[in-house]
Structure 1
Amino acid sequence: MPFIIKKLAVIGTGLIGGSFALALREAGAVDRIVGIDSDRSNLERALSLGLVDEIAEDACSGVSGAEVVFISVPVCSISSVLGSIAASLPQGCIVTDGGSVKAAIVRECDALIPAGCSFVGGHPIAGTENSGATAAFAALYRGKRCVLTPGATSSAQALDTVARLWKAAGAEVCNMEPGHHDRIFAEISHLPHAIAYTLVHAVGTADVEGENVLSYTAGGFRDFTRIASSDPVMWRDISLMNRDALLASIDGFTASLAELRRRIDRGDSDGLSEFFTTAKKFRDGIL
């Protein structure tokens, strides 16, 4: 098929950015991919692994001539990265991102994007607990959903181009208002990560007669807490940037946990059966 764009610049050549580049290369959707990364050793690995065709010494030179720039860095850094490259963006360039918080990013980036360019917020719903160029693989987005959150500077052409790129990478694309996105993903992504980290922290610091409690963990605990091996800096930034929505989700979870505690404390067999059965029905419904 013909190229969707000729040149793509990827800022952040880790799992998300590297997998996007690999998927587009495999699909024949992009002619040339330039990698940009503050971690020089990771950038060189991205080049040696074939994630990118070339690497840039700095972000401003790397985005020169790019039709699309994909920013894949921690969410608290996305707008500052855009600010640092804004003056170097070619006319008509489309900037998009892969961050999992959208309202603040879209608002900040809309204010920074130069006239004649477009910003299109994006969030691919895919990932693993691993990071860096070595974690990237072309099939990461295949069959997964990617949510686009257009803002004031998202032209129809820019939105269509970004959607076509994600579809070429194998994703199913939908559009969503940025604030609505943040409230949904506080519940289904940010809260589960917070719970996983909290559970491991609680068990790891538990004092049970001097035993190393974690040494007794098996499949269930390890499966449930796998995401607590994700990058702590990334989840620190997500927690702070989506603070209000995440706090509301934590309050809702705390209320549910308190209700479970009450039923256990009362010895309420029927109540516990109802609680667990309701949860099981919800869980079985997403399989």
Structure 2
Amino acid sequence: MHLGRLVLVGVGLMGGSLAAALKRSHAVGEVVGLAREPGELARALELGLVDREETDPAAALACADAVVVATPVGAAEAVFRRIAPHLPAGVLVTDVGSTKGSVLAAARSAFGELPPSLVPAHPIAGTEASGPAAADPALFQGRRVILTPAPESDSGAVAAARALWEAVGAEVVEMAAEHHDEVLAATSHLPHLLAYALVDSLARRDDNDEIFDFAAGGFRDFTRIASSDPVMWHDICRANRDALLPALAGFRAELQRLETAVAEGDGDYLLTVFRRAKAARDRFIEGNES
């Protein structure tokens, strides 16, 4: 595929990496960064992630082939409202957000009804880094991207979204938005909450200096994602509340059972959990390396 003009709203890790990857694969002619204020995209321009900056949505969207919204999910509705009056019919609109039900709801609110050219997407990729300087053109290579088209989504738009992500080396799958949010609540959103909560609880202890001085590699590995963008994860947790609350409740029950086992010296239960968890994680790692 080849895009003549891509309009990019948000040039952080995800948006910047997508722009860099499309440029590297020669799949885009021009990347226009849509900003609210002049100079917002100075760093992205300096790094060559966008070719020019526009503050006028009409000017940015003229002759556009696709629009990618790469802002925190909490900003999606405001972005949709800003582009809605100027969006040419048939122009692909997609995003990179970690929640999909909220994106569909935001689009319905902003547009009045879902545009047939809207195809929400979620690349299962990223790091704890943020900002344009963190952009990596190889970020999506070999990684999965989940498309969550609505019944209203046009088949041609879905095909265009698939081609866009395949152009940067991603493996594209499709999933219902509700199911996506349930799966990601358990595998991504819950782990981030746990990492943030653990680091915060330790940081508020009187002996936190000593605790962090003696923290080893395991602590660093487990808490790495607590260095992620707080605003982004604030938005994700609020947007995916309905799926996240059951995941939290289930984990809390498991944690209480572990606490009981420790209190009662139930080594058999602990060993069973540890062995089962190790086997499951080993299978996951092997599957992702094959």
Pairwise same-fold verdict (TM > 0.5): yes
Q: Kindly indicate whether the alpha-carbon contact (under 8 Å) linking 2:36 and 2:55 is maintained by their aligned counterparts in 1.
A: no
What code does the residue aligned with 1:12 have? G
Aligned-partner SS, 1:138: coil
Q: Kindly indicate whether the alpha-carbon contact (under 8 Å) linking 2:92 and 2:118 is maintained by their aligned counterparts in 1.
A: yes
- In the comparison of the two structures, how many residue pairs are matched? 284
Partner residue, 2:156: 157
Cα separation, partners in 2 of 1:207 and 1:33, compared to 1, 3 Å: same
Partner residue, 2:233: 235
**Offset at residue 38 of structure 1 (A):** 4.4
Deviations 1:127-184 (A, max 9, x none): 1111111000100000100000001431000000010010001110000000000000
- Structure 1: give runs of 5+ residues left out of the alignment: none
Q: Share of identical aligned residues, percent?
A: 44
Q: Which is further off, 109-118 or 142-151?
A: 109-118
Partner residue, 1:96: 94
Cα separation, partners in 2 of 1:222 and 1:70, compared to 1, 3 Å: same
What code does the residue aligned with 1:174 have? V
Q: Does residue 178 of structure 1 match 2:177?
A: yes
Deviations 1:173-216 (A, max 9, x none): 000000000000000000000000011011111245x8642222
What code does the residue aligned with 2:192 have? H
Q: Kindly indicate whether the alpha-carbon contact (under 8 Å) linking 1:129 and 1:231 is maintained by their aligned counterparts in 2.
A: yes
Q: Kindly indicate whether the alpha-carbon contact (under 8 Å) linking 1:107 and 1:151 is maintained by their aligned counterparts in 2.
A: no
Partner residue, 1:65: 63
Aligned-partner SS, 1:18: helix
The separation in 2 between residues aligned to 1:277 and 1:20, in whole angstroms, is 39
The separation in 2 between residues aligned to 1:29 and 1:222, in whole angstroms, is 38
The separation in 2 between residues aligned to 1:115 and 1:255, in whole angstroms, is 39
Equivalent of 1:31, from 21, 29, 32?
29
Aligned-partner SS, 2:184: helix
Aligned-partner SS, 2:31: strand
Aligned-partner SS, 2:119: strand
Cα separation, partners in 2 of 1:12 and 1:66, compared to 1, 3 Å: same
User: Cα RMSD over matched residues?
Assistant: 1.8
Q: Which is further off, 29-38 or 46-55?
A: 29-38
The separation in 2 between residues aligned to 1:101 and 1:86, in whole angstroms, is 21
Q: Which is further off, 210-219 or 29-38?
A: 210-219
TM-score, normalisation: structure 1: 0.94
Q: Which is further off, 111-120 or 245-254?
A: 111-120
Q: Kindly indicate whether the alpha-carbon contact (under 8 Å) linking 2:144 and 2:170 is maintained by their aligned counterparts in 1.
A: yes
**Offset at residue 26 of structure 1 (A):** 1.0
Q: Does residue 44 of structure 1 match 2:42?
A: yes
Partner residue, 2:271: 273
Q: Does residue 200 of structure 1 match 2:199?
A: yes
Aligned-partner SS, 1:142: coil
- Structure 2: give runs of 5+ residues left out of the alignment: 286-290
Q: Which is further off, 103-112 or 186-195?
A: 103-112
Q: Kindly indicate whether the alpha-carbon contact (under 8 Å) linking 1:27 and 1:169 is maintained by their aligned counterparts in 2.
A: yes
Equivalent of 1:74, from 72, 85, 89?
72
Partner residue, 1:214: 212
The separation in 2 between residues aligned to 1:199 and 1:12, in whole angstroms, is 30
Q: Kindly indicate whether the alpha-carbon contact (under 8 Å) linking 2:84 and 2:110 is maintained by their aligned counterparts in 1.
A: yes
Q: Kindly indicate whether the alpha-carbon contact (under 8 Å) linking 2:115 and 2:152 is maintained by their aligned counterparts in 1.
A: no
The separation in 2 between residues aligned to 1:248 and 1:217, in whole angstroms, is 31
Q: Kindly indicate whether the alpha-carbon contact (under 8 Å) linking 2:9 and 2:35 is maintained by their aligned counterparts in 1.
A: yes
Deviations 1:7-27 (A, max 9, x none): 110100111001111111111
